Chain A
Amino acid sequence: MTDKQKQLAWGLAGAAVLILLPLAVIALRRWGLVEDPGHDLPGRVYGVAAGLIIAAYGNIAPRKLVRYDPGSPRPARRQAAIRFSGRVFVLAGLANAAIWATITPIDTAALLSMVPLVLALLLVFHRCARLRTERA
Chain B
Amino acid sequence: MSSVFKALADPIRRQVLAYLRERPLSAGELAERFDVSKPTMSAHFSVLREAGLIDASKHGKSIVYRLKMSVLEEALMELAQAVGLDMARTETPAPPPTKEEKT
B61 contacts partner chain A, Cβ-Cβ < 8 Å: no
Q: B38 at the A/B interface (Cβ < 8 Å)?
A: no
Interface of A: prevailing SS: helix
| List of 9 A-B pairs having minimum Cβ-Cβ separation, nearest first | A76-B23, A68-B24, A59-B71, A68-B66, A90-B71, A86-B71, A59-B70, A63-B70, A68-B64
Residues of A within 8 A of B22 (CB): 76, 79
Q: Is A58 an interface residue (CB 8 A)?
A: yes
- Hey, which bits of chain A sit against chain B, CB under 8 A? 58-63, 66-68, 70, 75-76, 79, 83, 86-87, 90
B64 CB contacts on chain A under 8 angstroms = 68, 70
Task: Give the residue name and chain of the B residue nearest to A74 (CB).
Answer: B23
- Cα–Cα distance between A60 and B66 once the two chains are bound (Å): 15
Partner of A59, one of B23, B24, B72: B72
Q: Report chain B residues within 8 Å CB of A90.
A: 71-72
